[in-house]
Amino acid sequence: MSWEIVIGLEIHVQLATQSKLFSGAKVGFGAAPNTQTTLVDLGMPGALPVFNEEALRLAVMFGTAIDAEIGKRSVFARKNYFYPDLPKGYQTSQMDDPIVGLGHIDIQLEDGTTKRVGVTRAHLEEDAGKSLHEDFDGMTGIDLNRSSTPLLEIVSEPDMRSAKEAVAYMRKMHAIVTTLGISDGNMAEGSMRCDANVSIRPRGQAEYGTRTELKNINSFRFIERAINIEVERQIDILEDGGSITQETRLYDADKHETRSMRSKEEANDYRYFPCPDLLPIVIDDDYINTIRAQLPELPDQRHARFMEAYGLSSYDAGVLSASRTMADYYEVVQGACGDAKLSANWVTGELAKYLNANDVDIDNSPVSAQQLGQLLTRIKDDTINGKAAKTVFEELWNGAGEVDAIIAAKGLKQVSDMGAIESMVDEVIANSPKQVQQYIDAEPAKRGKMLGYFMGQVMKASKGAANPGQVNGMLKNKLDAMC
């Protein structure tokens, strides 16, 4: 049987505020346990929440960016469940009246087409604390620094039909939230986490199959792997005549399997009700329109502009516009050297290679955009050739100083002095009588290829510093004159 995969994603985005959603405690990753808490975050009786206006602004900004309906009157609700890292016994969230309603984003598929994916809603909620299960005298340790950290939960429609589409959706969401600056999007630190609702149905069937929810997927790579392994599991069950149980499952990256997290009899029953400690949030059109007017250039717009203004391929433009920092970096390089294609090649090539190999974000690149722009300028003005540029780049990466100083110190300046090149060319020709004879005997059409040997010898003689274009032209003239 041919199965159709149906996927919806719930993405939790940590909003980039200074203080918490409901208290004046600092938000920040990696602080000593319980040093960023107040009575509100600890859930002490009588401690009342006061809502952070910046969280509201960032949520509305997201809503306007995905062309969504904005809730002019949104309401906080209590989602009730017991867990020690949630000391209040409920999570303050939104249910019936979320801040962001129906919207959509466009994702680019591998075949180059664009697909629209619906966003059902996005609501504000607080994060819980962290449980540490290492053994503390047989007890569990609780760190409440993360308690009440503002989250935006973005819920998609079940519009995705493959794991690859789910990854493309997640990547586009990442590009949007980082471009807007509403989150740092750091998945390793949990600033962006994803749950996937996955079901399958026989191709052509209108009703959805029973879904399972895969929890807490924290990298782009794991989204694809977790969904694919879960789909395989569901197909195996259905093709063996079994049925899927609606449940929450955890993806175990080490074992590459999904396993059930909660038993059926404890099926979620959150008993939502409006939070009596918080009043409805009311905003007007002026508020929304002011935010809409301040939206930065969004990834899709930047993608289109990179193709239009710089003549880049859709692929290069897509890679470069995938995050705001990458796109900003590229534009500085491009502005400095004036060559869009060369800049794209270096940013997506050499720079990306070093960033990946050293696991460094582009905003922490040891080679600044200005430095790379200067380096490419030196290729453009024939000071150095491409090979030498890679050496300079490595030196820049290792903090050896500025471009021109490195070129001088390493003696990488390209030899464009015609006299110097000519004497090297003459010497190579004089020392290669056999190859010269082969060149003379060859069909004229085949001679071009045979230049390679002489090129290599001259470049070697110049220690790589000769201008390859000049060497090539001079060799050709001299050898052809001998034929």
Rg of the chain (C-alpha set): 30
- Would you call 415 helix, strand, or coil by DSSP? strand
- Least distance to another protein, CB of residue 278, Å: 6
- Of 3 and 51, CB closest to another protein: 51
Q: Looking only at residues 281 through 310 of this chain, which bind another protein when binding is defined by CB under 8 A? A: 281-282
Question: How far is Cα 430 from Cα 119, in angstroms, rounded to an integer?
Answer: 72
Residues 76-95 that bind another protein (CB under 8 A): 80, 82-84
Shortest CA distance to 147 belongs to which of 31, 257, 43, 60?
43
> Residue 44 or residue 109: which is nearer to another protein going by CB?
44
Total binding residues toward another protein, as defined by CB under 8 A: 52
Q: How far is the CB of 182 from another protein (least distance, A)?
A: 13
Q: Strands 212-217, 248-252: parallel, antiparallel or unpaired by DSSP?
A: parallel
- Residue 125 in contact with another protein, rule: CB under 8 A: no
Give the integer Cα–Cα distance in Å for 200 and 425. 68
Instruction: Select the span of 116-124, 176-184, 271-279, 341-349 touching another protein (CB under 8 A).
Output: 271-279
Q: Residue 46 Cβ, how far from another protein at the closest point, in Å?
A: 14
Q: Is 124 exposed, middle or buried (0-12, 13-18, 19+ CB in 10 A)?
A: buried
Give yes or no for residue 148 binding another protein (CB under 8 A).
no
Q: Is 32 in the site for another protein (CB under 8 A)?
A: yes
Query: Could you give phi then psi for residue 7, rounded to 5 degrees?
Result: -130, 135
Distance CA 474, CA 455 (A): 10
Report the residue from 138, 241, 399, 411 that binds another protein according to the rule CB under 8 A. Answer: 138
List residues bridging with 274 in a β-sheet: 77
Out of 3, 29, 47, 54, the residue judged to bind another protein by CB under 8 A: 54
**Segment interacting with another protein (CB under 8 A) among 113-121, 171-179, 275-283, 351-359:** 275-283
The distance of closest approach from Cβ of residue 280 to another protein in the complex, given in angstroms and rounded to an integer, is: 5
> Does the protein bind another protein through residue 144 (CB under 8 A)?
yes
Element (H, E) at 251: strand 248-252
- Count of other CB atoms within 10 angstroms of residue 415: 18
How many CB atoms within 10 Å of residue 147? 30
26 binds another protein (CB under 8 A): yes
Of 80 and 416, CB closest to another protein: 80
- From 47, 187, 237, 278, residue interacting with another protein (rule: CB under 8 A): 278
Assign residue 430 a region (left: φ > 0; alpha: ψ between -120 and 50; beta: otherwise). alpha
Beta carbons of 62 and 122 less than 8 angstroms apart: yes
Question: Please, what is the minimum distance in Å from the beta carbon of residue 167 to another protein?
Answer: 27
Whether 233 contacts 200, CB under 8 Å: no
Nearer to another protein, 278 or 352 (CB): 278
With CB under 8 A as the contact rule, the residue among 7, 9, 36, 154 that binds another protein is: 36
Interface of this chain with another protein, residues 401 to 420, rule: CB under 8 A: none
Nearer to another protein, 96 or 236 (CB): 96
Q: Minimum distance between the CB of residue 18 and another protein, rounded to whole angstroms?
A: 5
Backbone angles phi, psi at 454, to 5 degrees: -65, -40
CA-closest candidate to residue 238, choices 206, 277, 198? 198
Closest CA to 384 of 418, 414, 406: 414
Quick one: tokens of 59?
Answer: 């949520």
**Residue 118 touches another protein, criterion: CB under 8 A:** no
**Residues within the interface to another protein (CB under 8 A):** 17-19, 23-26, 32-38, 42, 50-56, 73, 75, 80, 82-84, 96-97, 131-133, 136-144, 261, 269, 271, 274, 276, 278-282
